[in-house]
Amino acid sequence: MPSSLAAAQQTVVLGIERLLGPDRRLVEGRRIGIVCNPASIDGSLRLSVDRLVEDQDLTVAAIFGPQHGFRSDLQDNMIETPHTVDARRRVPVFSLYSETREPTAEMLREIDVMVVDLQDVGTRVYTYVYTMANCMRAAARHGIPVVVCDRPNPIGGTEEDVEGPRLQDGFTSFVGQFPVPLRHGMTIGELARLFNDAFGLGARLDVVPLDGWRRSMYHDETGLPWVMPSPNIPTLETAVVYPGAVLFEGTMVSEGRGTTRPFELTGAPWIDDDRLAAALNARGLPGAYFRAVVFEPTFHKHARQPCGGCQVHVLDRRAFRPVRTAVELIAEYRRQNPARYGWKEPPYEYEHDRQPIDLLYGSDRLRTTLDRGGDVAPLLASWAAEEDAFRRLREKYLLY
């Protein structure tokens, strides 16, 4: 994208652009380690790391890659990325999805400041925010300041955008370290402030804020280009459904990996698509329509098998409730064929004993409710108090 065109369209100024402008004092004269991937771009689609490398007054000493790698080239979960050296940029690339999820002392040896520039998608279970938290922990231990370059929450950040259960004690993992709802309605910079203060990470933290972002904005209202933050979130539409649809990773129903519409498509070989869609549409879930489909995943669950299921079409994204929708979807899948329905077994994201669905939901309440044949309505109603408590907690850490 030509810079003149980007400038004409862009309404939100990213943290990385401010870091290279009015806030460059935070990194000037210091050896920089940057946590980034291909979605770490400026408004003209230039990689943040290249902006730093090409700046004659700045020194990039190391690159750190989150899950899926610095190049985001590894498709699935639980595929680790090797450490390497970037030949063009002539700096080491350390994987934080490897034998370690936290920078080691050796990785930090040549660094004076840690810059985090990652695109979050507004969901508690997205591992990038815990890569950030782990970097903050390590940096605090070694006396290294952390600079988080803020980016928009692509699915909004109003009070109404907070949804779902908070993570409960005993269910922490790499897909959930802190008591946050499934949809948190915060930017990654605001989460850094929350994690650092409320949850005691204790880093020397600076957040470089956005200019022009409003809490009601979805990504397509920012004027910024979309680059998929990870391989299975190709579009904004995927991000809209993801805070709830990610729960399907804890089931034996396909979450659409191996298709061009992951998380919008769900299904399994033992499901009648027409009957499922009719039952779901009869539930009257706000902002959503369920279209009967049959699809064959090219990889992952049920690869090369016809799966009956549905595609969720979000007709009104402000009315749509992704977490409620997914819970009702899971309940309906189980009701349609209880003999064939199943929960995915461990391991999942470095956890070998606990049920993946419990780690994703944040407790065992969804699994145990459905396993005893219970109705999910009381479960949904129980979220209100948790959502309200989180809204009060997050208030002091909001920047916009």
Q: pTM of the entire structure? A: 0.95
Alpha-carbon radius of gyration of the chain = 21
Residue 182, H or E segment: strand 181-183
d(CA 259, CA 296): 8
Once rounded to an integer, what is the mean pLDDT over residues 301-328?
98
pLDDT for the residue 76: 65
CATH architecture of 236-388: Alpha-Beta Complex (3.90)
pLDDT for the residue 77: 65
Quick check: 7 pLDDT over 90? no
Q: What is the tens place of the pLDDT at every residue in 338-397?
A: 999 999 999 999 999 999 999 999 999 999 999 999 999 999 999 999 999 999 999 999
d(CA 44, CA 2): 7
Q: Tokens representing 98?
A: 């490897």
Q: What is the tens place of the pLDDT at every residue in 183-225?
A: 999 999 999 999 999 999 999 999 999 999 999 999 999 999 9
pLDDT for the residue 73: 81
Instruction: Provide the H-helix boundaries in the chain.
Output: 3-9, 15-19, 48-54, 128-142, 188-198, 236-245, 273-282, 322-336, 356-361, 365-371, 377-394
Quick check: 105 pLDDT over 70? yes
Strand-pairing partners, residue 33, are 62, 114
Return the CATH number of the domain spanning residue range 3-152+187-225. 3.40.50.12170
Quick check: 2 pLDDT over 70? no
Quick check: 9 pLDDT over 70? no
Q: Single out the residue of 397, 399, 394 nearest to residue 184, CA to CA.
A: 394
* Strands of 288-329, DSSP E: 288-295, 307-314
Quick check: 1 pLDDT over 60? no
- Tell me the average pLDDT of the chain: 96
In this structure, the number of other CB atoms found within 10 A of the CB of residue 200 comes to: 9
3-152+187-225 and 236-388 agree in CATH topology: no
d(CA 102, CA 105): 10
Q: Which of 66-70, 78-82, 395-399 has the lowest mean pLDDT?
A: 78-82
Provide the pLDDT confidence category of residue 74 given band limits of 50, 70 and 90: confident
* Strands of 19-178, DSSP E: 31-35, 59-65, 84-86, 91-95, 113-116, 146-149, 163-166
Quick check: 4 pLDDT over 50? no
pLDDT for the residue 325: 98
Q: Where are the domains of the chain?
A: 3-152+187-225, 236-388
Provide the pLDDT confidence category of residue 70 given band limits of 50, 70 and 90: very high
Quick check: 279 pLDDT over 80? yes
pLDDT for the residue 94: 97
Q: What is the tens place of the pLDDT at every residue in 154-183?
A: 999 999 999 999 999 999 999 999 999 999
Phi, psi values for residue 183, rounded to 5°: -115, 115
d(CA 87, CA 77): 26
Provide the pLDDT confidence category of residue 6 given band limits of 50, 70 and 90: very low
pLDDT for the residue 265: 98
Q: What is the tens place of the pLDDT at every residue in 214-265?
A: 999 999 999 999 999 999 999 999 999 999 999 999 999 999 999 999 999 9
Quick check: 3 pLDDT over 90? no
In this structure, the number of other CB atoms found within 10 A of the CB of residue 325 comes to: 24
